[in-house]
A and B are shown apart, each in its own frame.
Chain A
Amino acid sequence: MMDCNQLARAATKAGEILLESGAETYRVEDTMKRICFAYGAEVVDAYATPTMLLISFSIHGELCHNIKRTQIKSVDLSKIDKVNDLSRSILDSSMSLEEFCFRLEKINQERVYRNWIMVLGAAVCTLGFAFFFKGTLKDALCAAVIGMLLKLLMIQMDRIDFNSFFKYLIGGAFTTLCAIIASKLGACHSIDTLIISVIMLLVPGLAITNAIRDTVSGDLVSGLARTAEALFVAVAIALGSGLVFTLLGGY
């Protein structure tokens, strides 16, 4: 006899991990449904928005529901990949529910890259963007250094749980300030290229991509919410960087 509560909890947990690592809505709903069906549930309905999960299913004539409030945390594509694989492998390997929960917990506790690799990643990223936007080698090196500083700042701000509008505003302002200092020191060729390459690090790529994919698959509520998030972040970045320019009276 399958434990109804445990199944509801396991399915919601899987959905929560997916949503918090930045999966699309249809993938979250699909995975939760697949898990329930694999453990013998009959009628399954799952609903996900960027901030909430709902699941309802019946098993052996018993009706079961669960609601979960979620927060969007850090983007972690490898977690999405693993949870997706795990949910697909239930049927093939006839895994018990306990085993499934155990593996899910293991995936959830997996470490992301260490901070210094993240900072290095940011440097590689901004270096690439400087070349992409037709910058010189000097611009690229400058962008890499500022990119590293910006990532360090963002990691610190994540730690003290800043609200996201303020976080991106400060990010934009910090980038512009650094770029102006760099150009005053004569370390870069074009200040515009420098700022654009570093600011690309803050661009809400996940929100944009997911907004598009959610809208296509008909999840309009999530699509609109994510579009709003993308606009919100874009405005915050522009505001932060504009603020510094205005305060310093142009450049």
Chain B
Amino acid sequence: MLNGLGAVLASLGFAILFNVKGDKLFTAAFIGGIGGVVYYASLYFGNGEGLSLFIASIIVSLLSEIFARLLKCPVTTFLLCAIIPLVPGGGMYYTMLEVISDNIDGAIVLGVETIIQACCIAIGCILVSSMTRIWSQAKRRKV
């Protein structure tokens, strides 16, 4: 689980690269760190890779939406920096290794796995942002 804390540095670095400034920098790093820890914690409790990514991406999106409203700035500011550590870069790399070592079967297995993992993250994000959309529309109608 300690490995998850690496995500703090990773998100912080990306926030700098994307020119985020001030206290938002550290908020983004904080959200990224929580995402990383949740991901490893879920793996530790025996959940699969896909489910863990799904849970982590839900938590990250949710926190991003909450902090964006608290600090009055676009959701992307946090979501972008915090979701990147979850992207299955390892899967992409190992797929490529299988391809160049002429092991097409392995490449297909790993490739499909990677795509499924990416879909898990996407579904997590979609779920949260659709829910907040419905929620804010319902609020507007009441007012």
Interface residues of A (CB under 8 A from B): 22-24, 27, 74-81, 84-85, 112-113, 117-118, 120-134, 151, 192, 195-196, 199-200, 203, 205-206, 208-210, 212-213, 215-217, 234, 237-238, 241-242, 245-246, 250
**Contacting pair A125 B74 (CB below 8 A):** no
Query: Chain A binding site: helix, strand, loop or mixed by DSSP?
Result: helix
Query: Chain B binding site: helix, strand, loop or mixed by DSSP?
Result: helix
A128 cross-chain contacts in B, Cβ below 8 A: 6-13, 85
Tell me whether B87 is interfacial, beta carbon within 8 Å. Answer: yes
**Contacting pair A124 B9 (CB below 8 A):** yes
- Pick the residue among B3, B18, B89, B97 that contacts A245 (CB under 8 A): B97
A209 cross-chain contacts in B, Cβ below 8 A: 76, 79-80, 83, 125
**Contacting pair A125 B76 (CB below 8 A):** no
CA distance A134 to B6 in the complex (A): 9
**Contacting pair B16 A212 (CB below 8 A):** no
**Contacting pair B19 A112 (CB below 8 A):** yes
- Pick the residue among A132, A213, A245 that contacts B76 (CB under 8 A): A213
B7 cross-chain contacts in A, Cβ below 8 A: 128, 132
The minimal Cβ–Cβ distance linking A124 to chain B, given in whole angstroms, is 4
- Pick the residue among B11, B76, B133 that contacts A77 (CB under 8 A): B76
Number of B interface residues, CB 8 Å? 50
B122 cross-chain contacts in A, Cβ below 8 A: 208, 212
- Given contacts A128-B8, A128-B9, A130-B6, could you give 6 more A-B pairs where the C-beta distance is less than 8 Å? A77-B19, A78-B20, A203-B84, A209-B83, A216-B126, A245-B100
B133 cross-chain contacts in A, Cβ below 8 A: 216-217
Tell me whether B104 is interfacial, beta carbon within 8 Å. Answer: no
CA distance A79 to B18 in the complex (A): 10
- Pick the residue among B19, B20, B77, B90 that contacts A133 (CB under 8 A): B90
A238 cross-chain contacts in B, Cβ below 8 A: 92-93, 95-96, 99
- Pick the residue among A81, A199, A216, A217 that contacts B74 (CB under 8 A): A81
Which 3 residue pairs across A and B have the least CB separation, nearest first? A125-B13, A128-B9, A131-B6
The minimal Cβ–Cβ distance linking A244 to chain B, given in whole angstroms, is 10
- Pick the residue among A124, A215, A250 that contacts B13 (CB under 8 A): A124
